[in-house]
Amino acid sequence: MDNNEKIKRRLNFISGEDFYFLTYEVMILLDVLTTANGEFKDHRKLAYLIEIISNSNVINVLMRYKGKHVNNAHDKELLFSTFINGEIHEREIFKLILAFDKKGYVTINRSVHTEVLNIKLRRENLPAQFLINDVFMKDRKNAVILKQLVKRLSVLSFETFITKIYKEYGIQAWAL
């Protein structure tokens, strides 16, 4: 590959869309939000959760405005962007979960709607210490904060999830 090609590929890289980025965020979310035998209901929530825990600023907004509407335009925009990006990544997450299943990292339970996946993380099949490595400290911390802010995240229905994360903060969002 010549140099120009390399530079082109470098420029094409967007960290927030990298499959490995989505991979580690999904795994950390599943690890933090579910218990040893627990199931994460509805994979679609993951797409939004990734956007939230990967950016400490978003977590800060959720903490600051807990129980209130967001009244600052900048913060509103930030929170709304997680909704947009989450929606965009929904399909990628679906593919990713299926790939994890094939690798044995998760088991899948199809719900009433075949489009919706319930997931159980098979921690024993992941490299030891992988999920608790220091590099993920920030993301784990954010996930833990979120877990305290919004209870029962793993079992909430998608609609309730959207309500709790967006509508209660004064963001017009709708379950698609």
Task: Note the residues at the interface with another protein (CB under 8 A).
Answer: 1-2, 5-6, 9-10, 12-13, 15-16, 18-21, 23-24, 54-55, 95-96, 98-99, 102-103, 105, 126-127, 130, 133, 135-136, 138-139
- Taking the least distance from each CB to another protein, the nearer of 105 and 161 is 105
Q: How far is the CB of 32 from another protein (least distance, A)?
A: 15
Q: How far is the CB of 21 from another protein (least distance, A)?
A: 6
The Cα–Cα gap between 109 and 39 comes to 9
**Gyration radius from the chain CA atoms:** 17
- Taking the least distance from each CB to another protein, the nearer of 22 and 171 is 22
Q: How far is the CB of 91 from another protein (least distance, A)?
A: 10
- Taking the least distance from each CB to another protein, the nearer of 5 and 124 is 5
Q: How far is the CB of 68 from another protein (least distance, A)?
A: 25
